[in-house]
A and B are shown apart, each in its own frame.
Chain A
């Protein structure tokens, strides 16, 4: 009886593992095959490196190297926004945790509420605002909203209010350090793990964001990779028979689309797999301490 319960549980675990892993596995293998082979061969067979290279050549030459441009754009938006996030969120978390000033509680509560609200709920209001400011189509209309990252402020706040020994700060002040020097030389170096967490989460959130850049950018050469993928999807004949002829010309078929998807997720996936433990601890650290 015990044994059957245990094996039943194991079967359930395996079934879910299949559900979660198989699509990833398929994605890794698909670009190594031709479109025809994708249909006829075993879905989990490896094709050849030759096909992989060919798929990349097709993808790369699509619309005069626009794929590279999309990756560059994504990097530009995510890196510059994350840099601003680090410069604003870490000090803000520090200030909210250790400072006493009027309006502190209001700022903290607002930050918390905007952080928990689904980001997509703010996209259209931001779009309307930027539209009124005539900023639609400008890359700043992606970078600046990305640079507002309340979750980063909150992680820094939690860190400084729970793990920062006040005596150390007081000692620094007694030794004649000013507020800024204390932060720069004591508080900032202590927060390295938090800085890494904010960096990662902010970067990933920006890299994966679709809705905001989709709404506020006008030209396809400005697209980040996520929006670029949707553009590519429209050029793939098997998902969009209307472009059938055009698909032939641009050489974008399912292996190319799969490769485009795979390359788009690879950076995030790599960090995800390597630093799973640290990330989970960071995620939990955000809330468990309540």
Chain B
């Protein structure tokens, strides 16, 4: 089929080959000698490896928790009273989705700067941060990054879950109501189980995305006078190993760790949730 030919080189060069090459590097020395898992153990023994993965896991857990509780909760609440007003709310929640990359981080650096933030009152009196450096103290970072990710992504997920809720047949809800079920019961017993697949999709995908964190700590590193290390997240560590230290094989080992997380998540979503069609 000639129609797929122009696409194939891209799939191979920037989809498959990088993975194969990273795998090859990860299992060999810089001279190409096979050394099994030695790069992995070496990278694992790096004093920055443990903290980097720990940061990423804490961040991802906080973010996932917030996503599951608030996104599912808001989607169900919005759906139980569909009206013009709730449509407006959906739209408002969705707007920050236009921001990603460095822009969303910069916006939140402003929000966390007690000097200029519209939430100065909160920052100073509730959290007790008088200075910007206090607000971005290392212990707060997983929460701050989770908040940024939630801010940009939650609206999109609310829209997706809302769309999934709309596919539930009206008759089911009516039947439940006739049987005497209240709004809360309908939401938790009827609607929630029916969008389970989508919640699983969101959770798995967000878990995989969360582990890849890079741009947020990278920018905070630049805005913190080095108080936050440039190897805060696992991806940053992999990048620094390659870029600054020229340890390409160890860098590849770390990136293979991350790649595996992403791959497993993707395979789980494709094979288990049944949300993506592969055949007619």
Contacts and interface: CB of A to CB of B under 8 A. Distances in A.
B160 A118 contact: no
A26 B118 contact: yes
Contacts of B115: 38-39, 238
Contacts of A95: 1-4
A148 B1 contact: no
Contacts of B154: 20
Interface string B10-38: 11011111110110010000000000000
A104 B1 contact: yes
A66 B11 CA distance: 34
A197 to B, nearest CB: 15
Interface in A90-146: 91-92, 94-96, 99, 101, 104-105, 107-114, 116-118, 120-129, 131-132, 144-145
Given A13-B77, A91-B7, A113-B270, A20 B93 contact: yes
Interface string A197-211: 000000010001111
Contacts of B132: 238-239
B6 A120 contact: no
B159 interface: yes
A257 interface: yes
Nearest to B213: A120
Interface in A151-167: 153-154, 158, 161
A27 B110 contact: yes
A240 interface: yes
Interface residues of B, number: 104
A2 B103 CA distance: 42
A20 B77 contact: no
A128 B25 contact: yes
A87 interface: yes
Interface residues of A, number: 104
Contacts of B265: 116-117
Interface stretch (B46-54, B137-145, B172-180, B218-226): B218-226
Interface of B: 1-4, 6-8, 10-11, 13-19, 21-22, 25, 70, 74, 77-78, 81, 85-86, 89, 91-103, 106-111, 113, 115-120, 132, 151, 154-156, 159-160, 163-164, 167, 201, 205, 208-209, 211-215, 218-219, 222-223, 225, 235, 238-239, 242-243, 248, 251-252, 254-255, 258-259, 261-263, 265-267, 269-270, 274-280
Given A43-B120, A210-B214, 9 more contacts: A23-B108, A24-B95, A24-B107, A95-B3, A113-B267, A116-B276, A241-B225, A265-B99, A265-B103
